[in-house]
Structures are given as C-alpha cells and as structure tokens.
Amino acid sequence: MKWIDRQGNILPDDSDGRLLNLMYGTSFGRAALGIFTKPFVSNIAGAFMDSALSRVFIGGFVKKNGIDTASFEERKYHSFNDFFTRRIKPGKRVVDTDADHLISPCDCKLTVYPIEDDSRFEIKGTVYTLESLLRDGKLAQQYRGGTLLIFRLTVGDYHRYCYIDSGIKSDNVHIDGVYHTVNPIACERYPIYKENTREYCTIQSETFGKIVMMEVGALMVGRIVNRHGAQPVTRGEEKGKFEFGGSTIVALLQKDRVIIDKDILENTANGFETVVKYGEKIGTREAEK
C-alpha cells in the first residue's frame, strides 16, 4: 500500500510492506521466521537491543530512515531501544483539544473501515474477524455497524502513543501471539497461521462512547509497554510505547459516534494510507439523532 499526506502528496513506497512480503511470501522468509520467532531467539534479540552494544546501529538507522533528530530530546542514548523510544521535544506534537474532535494516538499511516457482519480486517499480515481480533465475541458485538481504524507505525515513526479521548480506562487485556505452519511438509509455498501479540483496553469516553484501543506488537522483537491499569485518563496523555519493531494501533468506535474526515475515507477507498501525526484531528463527533 502507498502513503499519501493530507496535502494530497503521494509518498514513497512502503519498504515495511515489502519486508512482510519477503518474510511470508517466500520459502526462505518463512524458514527464517520459524527460527526468529522462537521465544529464546526473541528474548536474546530483545536483550541485545536493550544493551549498550546495540548503540552502534543508531547512526545507520537514522540515516536509512531519514529521521529528523532535531525534533527529539538531545541526550546520550544507552541502547538502541532507548533511542527507538526517544521522546519528542515539547511543542513538536500539538494535541487537538477540541472536545468534538477525534485525534490520532500516534505518528502513523492510517486506514479506516466500516465494521459489518462479515468484515475481515488485515492487520500486520493476518486477516481477522472482529471476534478473532479481540477473542471476545460479546465485546465484538458492541461494535457492529461502527468503525475500525488501523494506525500503522513504521520503523522511522515516533513510537510513543497517547489516549484518543478522556474517560475511564479498563484494565489491560493481553493476548499472546502465535506462529506456526498449517502444513509443515516442505514445498515452495505452504500456508502459515500467525497472530501478533496484542494488548487492549476499553475507554468509557466522555465524547465517543466506549472505545477499544489495541496495541499490536511486532512478531519477533517488538514489545508493547503500556503505562496504566484501570484509571481515569486524559486525551493526549501518553498511554505507552513500542520498543523495537514496526507496530500498529487499532481503535474501535461504536455505531453513530464519529464521522471520519473525508480525505482519510477517500484515501482508504483508493488504496492509500494517510500519514497523520500524534494528536492530529482525524474525525468529528457525530451529532445525536
């Protein structure tokens, strides 16, 4: 999928998408994933990214991804993960405080879809029904006729995220990821079954009703670090961060709660992801009927 900014400029192709195609669309990639997704391998990789040794990768990562380091805090980073989860300077991301506006939780590439009875949603290379995504049929039923938003972060994006409205947050629900082959017989292409680790909460929002916010981690190294359990939360307040690995946030809104901005809907319909920023307006409260 290609990206488009909110001024209508088409941006370069998605290298992260090409990597997914390599990893899941070739026999070599799938064989590599079979090794990399072993828990002990992920643990070793995660420990390395937390170590001082990993700092040697920071310069090359910045250059390859064209990261504007002037926008971020100026300090010595202790590890690659310390750099990856760096904080942005005050004032570089302005949160829209209009109570009728829905905001983006992060810097990302956004697509938006209606939730219908037979809807299927592709998230990080896996196709889910709403029930399989949440693993909770009763909760999923509350969002029929509503809206699903996919906020996809790529490796060069700011990897901290915020609450999209004020309200009362529930405890976090953690779902472990899985990866295995459906048919292990060696051949050029064979089916696999995978789900990424994910974590979600509900927010009883002051403006948009009951919202689901879900973080979806990278299959291998990426880690979800949420800051809060059940408590009151505030729009724009930092909710958490993703450690190394491209990651995704999914939001669910109930029927008749929000009107998504027209350009974002049109871009999704035309096969584009819309580039949006942390705290930026992406929709408006739907008037009561």
In a domain, residue 245? The reply is yes
**Stronger pLDDT, 43 or 56, i.e. the higher one:** 56
Give the model's pLDDT for residue 186: 41
Query: Which of these, 214, 216, 238, lies nearest to 227 by C-alpha position?
Result: 238
Q: Among all residues, which ones are annotated catalytic?
A: 107, 247
In a domain, residue 146? The reply is yes
The confidence band for 16, taking pLDDT boundaries of 50, 70 and 90, is: low
In a domain, residue 81? The reply is no
Q: How does pLDDT run across 72-125, given as a tens digit for each residue? A: 988 999 999 999 899 999 999 999 999 999 999 999 999 999 999 999 999 988
* Whole-structure pTM value: 0.88
Confidence check: pLDDT of 171 > 90: yes
In a domain, residue 277? The reply is yes
In a domain, residue 127? The reply is yes
Q: Residue 19: what residue type?
A: L
In a domain, residue 74? The reply is no
Domain span holding position 131: 2-10+95-285
In a domain, residue 38? The reply is no
Phi-psi region of 203 (alpha: psi -120 to 50; beta: other; left: phi over 0): beta
Give backbone dihedrals phi and psi of 81, rounded to 5 degrees, phi first: -65, -35
What is the Cα–Cα distance from 210 to 258, expressed in whole angstroms? 12
In a domain, residue 23? The reply is no
Q: How does pLDDT run across 124-155, given as a tens digit for each residue? A: 888 999 999 999 999 999 999 999 999 999 88
Number of structural domains (the chain) is 1
Q: Mean pLDDT score of the chain, rounded to an integer?
A: 86
Give the model's pLDDT for residue 40: 65
Give the model's pLDDT for residue 114: 98
At residue 204's C-alpha, the angle toward residues 201 and 205, to 5°, is: 115
